[in-house]
Amino acid sequence: MSVKRVLSRGLELGRSVLQLGLPRSAGRLAAKLRPEYLRGGQPQSSLPPRYRYYRVSLRGLAARLQAAGLGRLAGGSARSRAAFLAFGVGLGLVEEQLEGDRRSAAACREIQALFSKKKFQTFPEQPLVSGYKLEDYVIGKQIGKGCNAAVYEAAAPAPVPPDQWTGAFPLAVKMMWNIGAGSSSETILRSMSQELVPAGPQAMRQEAGALTLHGHFGRLPETVSPHPNVITVHRAFTAEVPLLPGAEEEYPDVLPARLHPRGVGNNRTLFLVMKNYPRTLRHHLEASAPSRRDGTLMLLQLLEGVDHLCKQGVAHRDLKSDNVLLELDSGGRPRLVITDFGCCLAERDRGLQLPFSSWWVDRGGNSCLMAPEVAAAVPGPGVVIDYSKADAWAVGAMAYELFGQKNPFYGPCGLEGRSYQEKQLPALPSNVPADVRLVVRLLLRRNPNKRPSARVAANILHLSLWGGRALARLDRAAAGKMADWLLCESARVLLKGVGRSRALVEEEQRRCFLANVDLEDLRTAAGFLLYGRAQRSGLSQ
């Protein structure tokens, strides 16, 4: 009998021993070694990073134990023989599973690389060929105003004199209010550099790239790459402040003295040119109540946008419905983009970590939607605020607005981020999908270590929306079957394709999912789904 056949018979015998439950200790050990996503409870990675070295040696250890078990067939107690065989076979099965995991992880990497290469198109309907001067644009009426800027509809290039213009306004020009930044282009760009984080590659003239920023000579802040759920600044330039429509009535105090006697503003400021979106998320929610599907897709888009920013070392820190713009795709679904980066954290050398040495350090914008770890932070030597999950928490709070309820953290009687208890959170309407309610509950956990990242939370919604049969078999599906489903999803998206200007929101989100797919993140999301399902099953009994 060949060695290969002997080992094969040993494996069969070992499996029989495991199925009979002899010995029980070996069965318990095999259960502990099973991957996490095949067990109930709260999800974790299949092996902690510090133990992943041992994956490469499990096969050898299993073979030695199986050989030792076979060597004892001629002597020793039956319990001893069974223990060696069962333990060896258990490790062999783990190694077999890990080999499947490696193949699945490789498939995920290939899918991610394929869809990451297909860049998202966020250009306006007619790409700009110039537009580096204010005179290149026809400025229309005011469409928005915040605490530090006014936004006007615009068109470019100007084909006729402004007083004869009768066409549409596909662009928006944001004029920053310059009170203390001086009137030189260098100081303006240094003071307002955060607004340039979502700037596109052609937003500024190349010769203006080298500037003195943050007290040393260097380049403009590294910008984020295009994403369908993050605004793109197509042009950025400094110019003389003009007297635009409504300026004297709406914001006279921030105008320069040459335009208004009470004005305290400087003569030059920063202008940003973007796509013109019809409304903000807040205005949309005030005018109409989204369907369950639309609400879920809007929550998913916010998470995808936040995940994209986090991966590039940016924390928005001022997420609210006023800072999210909205348009409808060709199928009538809302498409959301995150905008207004004036309060963002985008330190190239610090990432999402902010040293909090004194109360003078800026923690961000909207205090009502500050995550607990930010709102409750106390300054001191060595204290650092981690923003890696703070924006995801804010999205969880905004979810109430998406489904027709008041944000529980707004108003004089609202909850406070620094002190609320999770049991105080109001329940979402019963018609909201159970998986969405699970995501919101997870995002609003006080402890950031128990809160999923934006990527994992988005994956939970992706699995819920597109999983179908794969989700129904999730509790018993192997990683290989999950990889098969991912390959089918990839083929479906590639065959259907996504158009440049008429892309559907759902197709964009499928592409976002595949461009970021990672086996460990996907397993964690699947584990959370199983955890939520088990909780709901326990409550219903």
Known binding residues are 174
- Determine whether 484 is an active site residue: no
In the set 136, 307, 318, 391, the catalytic residue is 318
Q: 333 and 359 in contact (C-beta within 8 Å)?
A: no
Query: Of all residues in the chain, what percent are helix, strand and coil, respectively (each to 5)?
Result: 45, 15, 40
Which residue from 422, 421, 527 is spatially nearest to 43, judged by alpha carbons?
Answer: 527
Which residue from 410, 491, 454, 488 is spatially nearest to 229, judged by alpha carbons?
Answer: 454
CA 36, 425, 287: angle at the middle one, nearest 5?
A: 110
Residues with Cβ within 8 Å of residue 459, at least 6 apart in sequence? 513, 521, 522, 524, 525
CA dihedral (338, 406, 291, 507) in degrees, to 10, reads 20
Look at strands 268-275 and 279-280 and give their pairing. Answer: unpaired
Binding-site residue positions for ATP:
174
> What are the φ and ψ backbone dihedral angles of 496, each rounded to 5 degrees?
-75, -40
* Distances from the Cα of 96 to the Cα of 40, 101, 230, 279, 294, angstroms: 21, 9, 42, 54, 42
Number of separate helices (H) and strands (E) present in the chain: 16, 12
Tracing tokens 């597109």 back to the chain, one arrives at 466
Tokens of 197: 């984080």
Burial class (CB in 10 A: 0-12, 13-18, 19+), 15: middle
CA 431 to chain centre: 25
Which residue from 199, 192, 193, 176 is spatially nearest to 122, judged by alpha carbons?
Answer: 199
- Point out the residues that are catalytic: 318
